[in-house]
Amino acid sequence: MTEHCTNCGKLLRGRSDKRFCDDYCRNHHYNQLHRDDNTFLRLVNKILKKNQKILRTLHAEAKPRVSRQMLLALGFDFRYATHQANQANIGRYICCYEYGYRKLNEEDYIIAKIER
């Protein structure tokens, strides 16, 4: 029985349980297989980093109170966050890494640096 490389289709020699010619073909095959996962991961990471940068910049400029419109204008994406910080003395913040925001009213948010 002849076997062919799962990646490139070349005829395989040697052990019958081999699926790939070599490390190159094995790596290439699994990289292709996970490419879509990695693309999504990179996209989400990019959005999270951008959100964190926006919160960090506003916090550094001592502008803890911001409107939803301002955040959207800066490119903030409300769909993505890393976690929630629920602390008795500060309320519930939605966080992008170490910075979080909390809704004050329909229009405004307050930004804080959340120490773990």
Identity of the residue, 5 or 110, whose beta carbon is nearer to Zn ion in the bound complex: 5
Identity of the residue, 11 or 60, whose beta carbon is nearer to Zn ion in the bound complex: 11
Identity of the residue, 5 or 48, whose beta carbon is nearer to Zn ion in the bound complex: 5
What is the distance, to the nearest Å, from the Cα of residue 33 to the centroid of all Cα atoms in its chain?
A: 19
Q: How far is the CB of 17 from Zn ion (least distance, A)?
A: 15
- Binding residues for Zn ion, per CB under 5 A? 5, 7-8, 21, 25
Q: How far is the CB of 37 from Zn ion (least distance, A)?
A: 22
Q: How far apart are CA 73 and CA 26, in angstroms?
A: 45
Strands (E), 1-116: 65-67, 83-87, 91-96, 99-103, 108-113
